[in-house]
Every structure is written in structure tokens, then in C-alpha cells.
Homo-oligomer: A and B are copies of this chain.
């Protein structure tokens, strides 16, 4: 532990009612008002999830919390608190740690998330950030990956592809959007897109024991994906980027047809909702292009073992 750094971070950390005991003891105590706890952790590493040589540490900190808030959003849970684990490079680590924390605190304030504690270390390796987020589920339990039914529409928020141009750092976790949709419409299942539109849709189909058909012409392709596809021969097709790039942190929802129609007519969010296809009985994933269906192989970002 770096006592002085921790003391400075502690003094800058706002208090929230749900944090009964915050930074400075052996553990934190959270008051979840008698509700269940929804908990998730993500570990981000310099060189894999961000490049500290190219971005300020604040952005790395922001992303480390944001990906966790996105996980909570995928369940329509309300974020309450987080724990911040940092492994700082020995050289310049103190400054990096403070800036990482700046990024975390700024996003935490936006979503009224209390930083309840953490663990601060140094080593000779690159920056590693491990954020644990804790929230509470909405009434009736929230959204899960399991529950999609054949006939359900595939409804997505926002657009897809090319997140490497910036969105993978600056994305807004769909916390309010998920909460609003969950309390206004019937939603059978859902997930947030980290591995890729296709790969994360597969997660829903596997857990829900069904299949899915995506309509190629309905996929909202981001400007970033189009730019990347245009900019270089290596860029690939914009459609492929939308399907596989990952880290869009948009929501994929399984919605009964009538409810989906209502959602799309209402368009209640500041971000567009799009119906991109349907869940089907037969297991598998297909892309429909000009009336023809072909098997779609998910190839989103997967950490590889040697």
C-alpha cells in the first residue's frame, strides 16, 4: 500500500448514503437497503484494453468503471458503489494512479456511484485496473441472458463497429436507457456488447437455448466503422466491423414483437433503437442478406492462449 497516495485519494472521494463505511478500513460496508446485490468485476490491462502511450490515464480509469456499469446496465441494475484495484507501474505510478482515479471519480459522479474502497499496488509491469461494481436489481429481478423466445425481436441501442476510433473509451454505459426500457416495456433477455454484436448475441442464444437471424440491411453501422472500412484496404467491410469489432457497449435486447413495435414507434431514448432481426427456434446464428440466409460465425475479440 502507498499510504500517502491512498490518503489523498480518500480525501477526494465523495460520500454516498449507500457507503456506510468507505475507504480506510479492512473492507467497506454497503447499505443496499435490504435488496439483493448485483456484482461484477472487470480487469483491464495497459497494452490490451487501452494504450497508456496514446491516451491519458484518466481515460483508462473512466473505461475501467464504464465497462462495469455497462455490465450492470445489461441487467437493468442500478449502480451503487465500486471498489478500485490498481496495479501501478513503479515509474511515475503515483501520478498515473491519481489521474486514473480522476477518470473514475468523474464517471462515478455522473452515475452517483460511491467509491467504497480498493487496493493500490506497484510493480515493474504495466498498469492493471480491476474495478468491482455493486448495484441493486430493479423490481422483478432485471434482465438476464436467458429468456429470449423464438419470435422475439432483436432490438439494439445505438450503432456498431469501429469503436477503436474512440468509442471504446468514451462510450456512455446504457444505465439509464436500460432502466427506462425495463420499466416501460416487456423485455425477455439482454446483454451489453463487449465481444462483438454477433458474439454477444450468441451468448443470449446459448443461454436461452434458441437461435437468431440478423438482417444485414438493418444493422446500424457506425460512422467509425464506415470510416475504417473506407480508409484502408485492411479495414474490411463496414458491415463486418459492425458485426465483429466489439466494445460498442450498446444493448442487445430480446423483445416480444408487439412490444418491439411499440418501442420502435416510441423511440423513447436519445439514442436510436433498431430492430435488426429475430430469435428463432433452431440453434445457431444466421445473417440474412437479400432474402438469403448464411451461417454467421462470431469472431469478436477473444483473448488467445498460445
CB neighbours (8 Å) of A133 from chain B are 27
Q: Is the CB of A25 within 8 A of B145?
A: yes
Q: Which residue of B lies closest to A146 (CB)?
A: B25
Task: With a 10 A CB-CB cut-off, give which of A25, A29, A71, A93 has the most chain B CB atoms.
Answer: A25
User: A21: which of B74, B118, B126, B144 is its contact (CB, 8 Å)?
Assistant: B144
How close is A86's CB to chain B, nearest CB, in angstroms? 7
Residue pair A39, B27 in contact (C-beta under 8 Å): yes
Complex contact B122–A1 (CB within 8 A): no
Tell whether A90 is near chain B: CB-to-CB under 8 Å. Answer: yes
Bound CA span A120–B121, Å: 20
A134 near B37 with CB under 8 A, answer yes
Within the complex, the shortest CB–CB distance from A204 to chain B, in Å, comes to 10
Tell me, yes or no, whether A257 is within 8 Å of chain B by CB: no
Give the most central of A92, A123, A144: most B CB within 10 Å.
A123
B contact residues around A122 at 8 Å (CB): 303-305
CA distance A34 to B81 in the complex (A): 17
* Chain A: number of interface residues, binned into ranges: 35 or more
A195 touches B37 (CB 8 A): no
* Contact among B21, B74, B116 for A26, CB-based, below 8 A: B74
Task: Enumerate A202-241 residues with CB–CB distance to B below 8 Å.
Answer: 207
A305 contacts B94, CB within 8 Å? Answer: yes
List, in ascending order, chain B residues with CB within 8 A of A85's CB.
Answer: 41-43, 85, 130
Chain A interface residues toward B at CB < 8 A: 1-3, 20-21, 24-32, 34, 36-43, 45, 47-48, 71-72, 74-75, 77, 81, 83-88, 90-94, 116-126, 128, 130, 132-135, 137, 141-142, 144-146, 191-192, 195, 207, 302-306
Apart from A25-B146, A43-B119, what are 19 other A-B pairs with CB-CB below 8 Å? A24-B207, A25-B144, A25-B207, A26-B71, A26-B192, A29-B39, A29-B137, A30-B37, A30-B39, A32-B32, A32-B36, A40-B117, A47-B125, A48-B123, A90-B306, A91-B305, A92-B305, A94-B305, A125-B125
Q: List 25 A-B contacts (CB under 8 A).
A: A1-B302, A2-B303, A2-B305, A26-B40, A26-B75, A27-B135, A28-B40, A39-B83, A39-B116, A39-B132, A39-B134, A41-B83, A41-B85, A45-B87, A45-B121, A45-B125, A47-B124, A47-B125, A88-B305, A90-B305, A91-B305, A94-B305, A122-B303, A122-B304, A132-B132
